[in-house]
Amino acid sequence: MMIAASDPVSAVLIQYGAVGAIALMALAAVRVLFNRVSETADRERDRADRLEDELRKLNELLRTEYLGTLAKATEAISDALSAVRRS
């Protein structure tokens, strides 16, 4: 992706000949690399948000399962204590 020669910065750099052309290409390369990094960061942010939501759902599911298991265990202990008291 090249910067148009009508750009004021490009026009000034071209006046310096080969050094200006190299600087212009370096600026174009930096721009391309910056855009790639920005896109990657956006994708990773979206991925992190999606995984955070999934983790939240899994934690909620585990809590629900634990509550059910704890309720059953409490009931079993209560039944066992009642049986021991009757004996």
Q: What's the pLDDT band for 5 if we cut at 50, 70, 90?
A: low
Instruction: Give me the mean pLDDT over the 10-34 stretch.
Output: 83
Per domain, the residue ranges of the chain are 8-86
Q: What's the pLDDT band for 20 if we cut at 50, 70, 90?
A: confident
Q: Would you put residue 3 in left (φ > 0), alpha (ψ -120 to 50) or beta?
A: beta
Stated pTM of the model: 0.55
- How does DSSP assign 15-64, residue by residue? TTTHHHHHHHHHHHHHHHHHHHHHHHHHHHHHHHHHHHHHHHHHHHHHHH
Choose between 20 and 35: higher pLDDT.
Answer: 35
pLDDT of residue 6: 62
Other Cβ atoms within 10 Å of 24 Cβ, number:
21
Whether the per-residue pLDDT at 36 is higher than 80: the answer is: yes
